[in-house]
Copies of this chain bind each other. A is one copy, B any other.
């Protein structure tokens, strides 16, 4: 079926049939609660296999919780998290990092297309030298992979930032809400994009990639877990489900046959196709290179509203930049992209609704 898609966000998509089937199967009959079930154990093994290393993982049900818990593991209350300007952890989580950490400071630094600038990071850290105890103490560098503008950090970019962090005793956090899209785009292993490049702790998101609600805090440097009570912090935030198998089942269904990569690849391809068609239709290229599943364009507002009137979901432009963001999903088909592009052309040409 070729539907008018909601492209406001990849959070608007449903879940993959394979995920729904797995949840359905997992929740039939009794099983030990609180993650002591067989599926949860298999999920833990699945993550170790996927990342090719020993690790600690904690399932939660939202990216906000995953970031909050990950940062609480890596940052004391008197710590500071340095991130890019438009980071989700800084602006779109209603202060979850502050809440989970007990009042750490999240400081956005100037960045380019959502990528943290190594020189800027160095400068910021230099300014903080010797400022204790008058200033929150830099504790974590946080980057998003892919980032908020759809760009993916290359391993060497991550390594450079991680190197700067390490030199000062800071930890490296990755908001991997869209790690799948980055892995699919860069054709690099999850391990290379994370711990092998210096990431200590990650929020690994599956929700935006075909799941219902499944995110994992993945701790690569298990020393980080010592004394910070990750398990207890999850529990006291209400994120230890009694029926943990619900989250485990989603992960296992995603990992099976590398479906998660295939889904992300489909989303990325749809974004590419969409960007191409919009450029052709409007003469305006995307504001940022389209590497993953997000397309930022300077769409005429009348055209946007025309599309909305025809049933497409497209959010208003960002009040700051004026850019419209279009996000494809694990299940966005070429036909759906074409339908939108055809309608866009019709709208731009002033044709009546098809």
Collect the chain B residues with CB atoms within 8 Å of residue A243's CB.
11, 14-15, 207, 212-213
B27 touches A11 (CB 8 A): no
Contacts A133-B234, A134-B235, A238-B61; A78 near B105 (Cβ below 8 A): no
Asked if A275 CB lies within 8 Å of chain B CBs, one says no
Q: Please, how many angstroms separate the alpha-carbon atoms of A235 and B93 in the complex?
A: 7
* CB neighbors of B among A111-146 (8 A): 126-127, 129, 132-137
Contacts A14-B27, A65-B239; A320 near B6 (Cβ below 8 A): no
Number of copies: 4
A114 to chain B, nearest CB (A): 17
Residues of A within 8 A of B (CB): 3, 5-6, 8-9, 11-15, 17, 20, 23-24, 27-34, 60-66, 68-69, 76-78, 80, 91-96, 98-106, 126-127, 129, 132-137, 207-208, 212-213, 227-229, 231-243, 246, 313, 319-320
Collect the chain B residues with CB atoms within 8 Å of residue A65's CB.
237-239
Contact of A207 among B13, B24, B242, B320 (CB under 8 A): B242
Collect the chain B residues with CB atoms within 8 Å of residue A94's CB.
78, 132-137, 232, 235-236
21 A–B contact pairs at CB < 8 A? A3-B29, A3-B30, A11-B33, A15-B28, A20-B24, A23-B212, A32-B313, A61-B213, A61-B238, A62-B238, A63-B242, A64-B235, A66-B238, A77-B236, A94-B134, A96-B235, A96-B238, A99-B237, A136-B232, A136-B236, A212-B243
Collect the chain B residues with CB atoms within 8 Å of residue A100's CB.
238
A238 touches B102 (CB 8 A): no
A225 to chain B, nearest CB (A): 12
Select from chain B the residue with minimum beta-carbon distance to A96: B236
A191 to chain B, nearest CB (A): 26
Q: Please, how many angstroms separate the alpha-carbon atoms of A207 and B33 in the complex?
A: 12
A321 to chain B, nearest CB (A): 10
A12 touches B27 (CB 8 A): no
B30 touches A313 (CB 8 A): yes
A27 touches B9 (CB 8 A): no
B105 touches A102 (CB 8 A): no
Collect the chain B residues with CB atoms within 8 Å of residue A213's CB.
61, 241-243, 246
A125 to chain B, nearest CB (A): 11
Q: Which 9 A-B pairs have the closest CB atoms?
A: A65-B238, A11-B242, A98-B103, A102-B102, A78-B232, A6-B30, A11-B33, A15-B27, A94-B235
A32 touches B12 (CB 8 A): yes
A320 touches B127 (CB 8 A): yes
Q: Please, how many angstroms separate the alpha-carbon atoms of A11 and B27 in the complex?
A: 11
Q: Please, how many angstroms separate the alpha-carbon atoms of A292 and B96 in the complex?
A: 38
Q: Please, how many angstroms separate the alpha-carbon atoms of A11 and B31 in the complex?
A: 9
Contact of A242 among B62, B78, B96 (CB under 8 A): B62
